[in-house]
């Protein structure tokens, strides 16, 4: 027991030292070499090696756990480095988000399989009992160990504060050193995992799993209500945003988790209560509905706007959901042995997900390249115009594929009749290119016309600069222009803008934008500086969250607004003061 505990502590401490070396000792030096790829490789290998090694140490021992962790970390690291060649730097690759998900999948899901194989021999990879228990043991043990790390740091920090009271600041200074932070965290994590592993009979996932089972009827009821109400409400509102696919996929995956928990490791441990058994079966049969709707939502967005990396990622998530949906439904329909078939489906899906994530980290699946081909094809076919092209994303987020697309677009912009494309590419060189390239910032006359139609401008006779109108549209909600154009039943304009000068000693104007009926959510302030119009910080003494800004609008329309000093100059109207924070 002592030797095992020492192994945990030593491995955790070594992990802390590696983290310190990569972040504080070598980080800045490695970051500037080859786009930061050496730092990415070392950090990723260290994270997988120590993380997986600590997870497997209790079952396999130090030597076998280290070998298995290294065998997992090396190919994952090589795949990540291979994938990074499609981006300017390792940092650009990690910024995509979806590649981090793929790395996490490839680095974590195989761990229970490695334990089962080393523990049970070659046949262990499909021993569902071992796979199920090891998966949940790792989750619960790590959760408990990190809780212990938090307690350790709370005690140490309180002790440091106590010693400060008697003039001893050395301990606090020692705790503030990066080396101390990483070593203490690693050693505490190793110690926590060792104790949790030793007390596996007491600290087990059974209590958590039994509690989670109780959510099956609740989730089934919600899904049934959703399916019954959907035909009555229609599908139009459901597919208005890509988030619909995300929500449907998330609910489907939550259902998969609860169903898997219900069938447990074998028939003896599975749920026996009729309500829970039938809830699991009913939820499994409804999964294809959720998966099908999620897939439809993604396809509609792709049809209207083409592929982007986010939509490719969403489509991959839908494929996973549909895989579970079909296999679970077939398992339930198979009859009395449905739980056994469902466990086999879980093994197949786990391996399939790892395979998909591995392909995701290879050039065979490149969401950025797929997105570039789609957007360029739509542009060439006339399905989109230069304003619709995601130029900023191509330049900053879509890697080498995006850069090559921009080169082709630059060549095309030199052709006759491509003035708008040339203008858009010129905007790409501005410091605020991301915002300047947005449709409203490019001069969407229809949106500005809608905004002006319901916009009351004060003082009377003042003119609102086009740049300010564009800025208001940029910061507003998608439906802002339409809301401002709508007629209200009372005497208030839908939207009002008051041009003034809060800071006379500084050049340029200021503006208060108010939207009726929205309280503080309808208040925005803007200021004109040497670089043009920008959003301004709010300085509103006495302005509370529930303030009636409609009264402010009525007072302004009635000509009762005036500039008053309030530490700074403020606009007083309707009993409220509004100003610009310098």
The DSSP secondary-structure symbol of 390 reads -
Q: What is the residue-wise DSSP string for 280-307?
A: HHHHHHHHHHHHHHHHHHHHHHHHHH--
The closest alpha carbon to 309, from 360, 249, 250, 275, belongs to 360
Contact 80, 41 (CB under 8 A): yes
Task: Give yes or no for a contact between 123 and 48, defined as CB atoms under 8 angstroms apart.
Answer: no
- Own/partner contacts of 147-153, CB < 8 Å, gap of 24 or more, are 147/192, 148/188, 148/189, 148/191, 148/192, 148/195, 149/185, 149/188, 149/189, 149/192, 152/184, 152/188, 153/184, 153/185, 153/188
Size of the chain in residues = 582
Dihedral (CA of 10, 12, 13, 18) sign: positive
For residue 549, the Cα-to-chain-centroid distance in whole angstroms is 34
Per-residue pLDDT of the chain (582 residues; tens, 9 = 90+): 678 889 999 999 999 999 999 888 777 778 778 888 999 999 999 999 999 999 999 888 899 999 999 999 999 999 999 999 999 889 889 888 899 999 999 999 999 999 988 776 777 788 899 999 999 999 999 999 999 999 999 999 999 999 999 888 899 999 989 999 999 999 999 999 999 998 877 778 888 999 999 999 999 999 999 888 877 766 555 554 446 788 899 999 999 999 999 999 998 989 999 999 999 999 999 999 999 999 998 998 898 889 999 999 999 999 999 999 999 999 999 988 999 999 999 999 999 999 999 999 998 999 999 999 999 999 888 877 787 889 989 998 999 999 999 999 999 988 887 888 888 888 888 776 776 676 444 445 667 777 887 788 998 888 888 778 877 877 666 577 778 877 776 778 888 999 988 877 777 788 999 888 777 777 888 888 766 677 776 555 555 555 677 888 888 888 888 887 755 667 778 777 776 655
Contacts for 381 with CB less than 8 Å, ≥ 6 apart = none
In degrees and rounded to multiples of 5, residue 336 shows phi and psi of -65, -30
Give Cα separations from 66 to 46, 61, 134, 364 (angstroms): 11, 8, 17, 31
List b or e across 424-445, with b for residues whose CB sees 16 or more CB atoms inside 10 angstroms. Answer: bbebbeeeebbbbbbebbeebe
Residue ranges of the domains in the chain? 2-204, 209-360, 367-436, 445-581
How many CB atoms neighbour CB 501 within 10 A?
17
User: Distance from CA of residue 505 to its chain's centroid?
Assistant: 43
Task: Dig out the tokens for 159 from the structure.
Answer: 């002790």
Q: Give yes or no for a contact between 338 and 332, defined as CB atoms under 8 angstroms apart.
A: yes
- Answer for the pair 379, 405: CB distance below 8 angstroms, yes or no: no
CA pair distance 278, 478, nearest whole angstrom: 44
Closest CA to 205 of 119, 126, 111, 142: 142
């Amino acid at each position: 027991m002592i030797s095992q505990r020492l192994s945990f502590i030593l491995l955790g401490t070594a992990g802390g030292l590696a983290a310190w070396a990569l972040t504080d000792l070598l980080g800045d030096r490695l970051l500037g070499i080859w786009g930061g790829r050496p730092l990415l490789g070392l950090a990723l290998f260290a994270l997988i090696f120590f993380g997986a090694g600590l997870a497997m140490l209790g079952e396999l021992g130090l030597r076998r756990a280290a070998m298995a962790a290294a065998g997992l970390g090396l190919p994952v690291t090589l795949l990540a480095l291979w994938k990074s060649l499609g981006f300017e730097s390792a940092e650009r690759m990690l910024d995509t988000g979806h590649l981090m998900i793929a790395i996490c999948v490839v680095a974590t899901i195989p761990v229970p399989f490695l334990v089962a194989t080393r523990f049970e021999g070659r046949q262990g990879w499909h021993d569902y009992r071992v796979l199920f228990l090891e998966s949940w043991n790792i989750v619960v043990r790590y959760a408990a160990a990190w809780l212990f790390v938090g307690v350790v740091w709370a005690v140490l920090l309180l002790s440091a504060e106590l010693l400060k009271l008697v003039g001893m600041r050395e301990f606090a200074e020692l705790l503030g050193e990066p080396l101390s932070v990483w070593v203490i965290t690693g050693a505490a994590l190793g110690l926590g995992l060792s104790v949790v592993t030793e007390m596996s009979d007491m600290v087990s996932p059974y209590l958590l799993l039994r509690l989670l089972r109780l959510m099956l009827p609740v989730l089934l009821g919600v899904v049934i209500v959703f399916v019954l109400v959907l035909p009555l409400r229609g599908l139009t509102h459901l597919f208005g945003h890509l988030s619909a696919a995300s929500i449907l996929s998330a609910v489907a995956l939550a259902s998969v988790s609860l169903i898997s928990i219900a069938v447990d490791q074998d028939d003896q441990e599975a749920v026996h209560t009729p309500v829970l058994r039938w809830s699991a079966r009913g939820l499994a049969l409804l999964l294809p509905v959720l998966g099908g709707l999620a897939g439809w939502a993604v396809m509609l967005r792709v049809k209207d706007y083409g592929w982007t990396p986010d939509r490719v990622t969403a489509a991959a998530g839908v494929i996973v959901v549909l895989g579970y949906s079909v296999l679970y439904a077939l398992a339930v329909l198979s009859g009395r042995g449905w739980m056994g078939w469902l466990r086999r489906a879980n093994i197949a899906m786990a391996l399939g997900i790892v395979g998909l994530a591995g392909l995701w980290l290879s050039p065979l699946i490149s969401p950025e390249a797929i997105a570039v081909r789609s957007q360029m094809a739509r542009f060439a076919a006339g399905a989109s115009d230069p304003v619709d092209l995601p130029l900023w994303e191509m330049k900053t987020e879509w890697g080498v594929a995006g850069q090559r697309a921009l080169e082709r677009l630059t060549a095309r912009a030199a052709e006759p009749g491509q003035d708008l494309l040339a203008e858009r590419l010129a905007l790409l060189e501005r410091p605020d290119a991301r915002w300047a390239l947005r449709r409203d910032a490019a001069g969407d006359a229809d949106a500005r016309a809608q905004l002006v139609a319901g916009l009351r401008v004060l003082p009377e006779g003042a003119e609102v600069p086009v740049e300010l109108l564009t800025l208001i549209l940029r910061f507003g909600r998608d439906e802002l222009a339409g809301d401002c154009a709508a007629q209200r039943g009372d005497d208030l304009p839908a939207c009002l803008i008051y041009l003034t000068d809060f800071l006379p000693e500084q050049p340029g104007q200021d503006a208060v934008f108010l939207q009726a009926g929205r309280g503080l959510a309808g208040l925005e302030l803007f200021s004109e500086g040497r670089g043009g119009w920008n959003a301004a910080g709010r300085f509103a003494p006495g302005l509370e969250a529930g303030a009636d800004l409609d009264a402010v609008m009525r007072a302004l329309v009635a000509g009762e607004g005036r500039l008053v000093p309030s530490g700074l100059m403020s606009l007083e109207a309707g009993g409220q003061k509004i100003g610009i924070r310098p």
